[in-house]
Amino acid sequence: MFTKKVIAGAGMAIALVAGMTACANTASTAGQAPQQAGDASGQQVKIMVGGLNKQIYLPFKLADQLGYYKDAGLNVQLSDEPAGVDAETNMISGQVDGVGGFYDHNQVLQAKGKSTEAVVTMLQVPGEVELCRTDLKDQIKSAADWKGRNLGITDLGSSTDYLTQYIGQKNGVAPTDTHRIGVQSGATLIAAMDHKNIDCAMTTEPTVSQLVSTNKAFILYDSRTLDGANQTFGGAYPASSLYMTTAYVDAHKDIVQKLANVYVKTLKYIQDHTAAEITDKVPADYYAGVGKDAYIKALDSEKGIYSPTGLMPDDGPKIVNDVLQTNADVKGKTIDLAKTFTNEFVHAAK
């Protein structure tokens, strides 16, 4: 159950923690100037990513490091927003042209009367992990034990919020039976767990390795593999994507095609190179918190999360829609799934 008291209290704690730990997360953060990528004289496009230093959004920065934006004649401004829901808001308001975020937002936006579509699907499984504090290992055996618990998510209305609600309800715990608290990821999430402001949290690499390797948390659910996604969500749950408003796509097909070319090429690079080779290409501050060796190990173990093609999985939109039936905005509404994504540009890139 949400109450202003719970959210406000948690927010104050997280704010204090964020202030103390801001220096620990040196990757681009919201509020900083966008990172220029590619050809400064090329066609400009602004993309906001829901956590640039997360491995689930690796293709966005890796494409820049490999020089692919420049090769395509694009001047890409990459900006970072820790919560995908806030990146989505910036796109709808016209502040940015596209979002690096989970595909499921397109279905929620359509339910709210907005027309957006994923143009490249980068993850075929979410790569999300549900962690719980180690001191609660004897008390929390599954999501069935979540009633009354404080659950960390990136933010209210984020994909981690949707997925957390689904896992809880699947195990007999209604969304109103838990306190879901926005703790972002990385340093702020870790601090929230250290201060016992949250009992469990949904997050990704490299935060997962930081918490597990220090024995601060244990894994309750793991969707870093197709088997894990099948067990947790019932199939391949398409996650990270580049999505844009349908109006932008229709008006800038040349730019969208160039972006699709870039990301299909980047996804192929990920398939064709080792985790160590890929890590050598990313900025050092992306693995500063966990260490380079741990970052490589985590990336190596979850390389299977990345789509080898950039295409939307055939059954992906339906599986996402099934999961979103716990979402009040989507439940009971008919979503035209074909309008929430397009494979047009990826097919042309291939």
Question: What is residue 84's predicted lDDT score, i.e. its pLDDT?
Answer: 61
Q: For the CA atoms of the chain, what is the radius of gyration?
A: 19
Q: Which of 218, 233, 248 marks a domain boundary? A: 233
Per-residue pLDDT reduced to its tens digit, 243-291: 999 999 999 999 999 999 999 999 999 999 999 999 999 999 999 888 9
Question: What is residue 278's predicted lDDT score, i.e. its pLDDT?
Answer: 98
Q: Please name the helix (run of DSSP H) or strand (run of DSSP E) that holds residue 117, with its range, or none.
A: strand 116-121
* Closest C-alpha among 112, 19, 3, 120 to residue 335: 112
Contact status, residue 101 vs residue 240, Cβ threshold 8 Å: yes
Question: What is residue 1's predicted lDDT score, i.e. its pLDDT?
Answer: 40
**For 299-309, what is the mean pLDDT?**
95
> pTM score, two decimals?
0.87
Same structural domain, 85 and 174 = no
Same structural domain, 274 and 253 = yes
Domain that holds residue 87: 35-124+237-349
Same structural domain, 42 and 146 = no
Same structural domain, 203 and 271 = no
Contact status, residue 114 vs residue 247, Cβ threshold 8 Å: no
Q: Which of 184, 202, 233 marks a domain boundary? A: 233
Residue 306 placed within a domain = yes
Beta strands 74-80 and 35-38, pairing class? antiparallel
Same structural domain, 135 and 96 = no
Residue 320 placed within a domain = yes
Confidence of residue 83 (pLDDT cuts 50, 70, 90): low
Contact status, residue 80 vs residue 51, Cβ threshold 8 Å: yes
Same structural domain, 285 and 155 = no
For residue 2, pLDDT over 80 is answered with no
Higher pLDDT, 85 or 111: 111
Give the pair of three-digit tokens for residue 37: 């990528």
The proportion of the chain whose per-residue pLDDT surpasses 90, expressed as a percent, equals 80
Q: Which of 180, 203, 233 marks a domain boundary? A: 233
* Closest C-alpha among 138, 153, 136, 271 to residue 207: 153
Per-residue pLDDT reduced to its tens digit, 185-237: 889 999 999 999 999 999 999 999 999 999 999 999 999 998 999 999 988 89
Same structural domain, 120 and 249 = yes
Residue 305 placed within a domain = yes
Q: Please name the helix (run of DSSP H) or strand (run of DSSP E) that holds residue 79, with its range, or none.
A: strand 74-80
Domain count, the chain: 2
Give the pair of three-digit tokens for residue 347: 């097919």
Same structural domain, 229 and 273 = no
Residue 182 placed within a domain = yes
Residue 28 placed within a domain = no
Same structural domain, 281 and 339 = yes
For residue 39, pLDDT over 90 is answered with no
Contact status, residue 216 vs residue 194, Cβ threshold 8 Å: yes
CA dist 238 and 319 (Å) reads: 9
Same structural domain, 133 and 204 = yes
For residue 13, pLDDT over 70 is answered with no
Q: What's 156's domain CATH number?
A: 3.40.190.10
What single-letter amino acid sits at 74?
L
Residue 30 placed within a domain = no
Alpha helices in 171-308 (DSSP H): 186-194, 207-213, 226-233, 246-251, 253-272, 275-279, 292-301
Question: What is residue 12's predicted lDDT score, i.e. its pLDDT?
Answer: 35
Residue 29 placed within a domain = no
Confidence of residue 33 (pLDDT cuts 50, 70, 90): low
CA dihedral 84, 89, 95, 96 (to 10 degrees): 40
CA dist 160 and 166 (Å) reads: 10
Same structural domain, 259 and 339 = yes
Question: What is residue 34's predicted lDDT score, i.e. its pLDDT?
Answer: 72
For residue 3, pLDDT over 50 is answered with no
The proportion of the chain whose per-residue pLDDT surpasses 70, expressed as a percent, equals 89
Cα angle 100, 204, 164 (rounded to 5 degrees) comes to 90
Dump the DSSP string for 20-37.
HHGGG--S--TTSPPEEE
For residue 19, pLDDT over 80 is answered with no
Same structural domain, 251 and 334 = yes
CA dist 293 and 74 (Å) reads: 33
Give the pair of three-digit tokens for residue 20: 């103390």
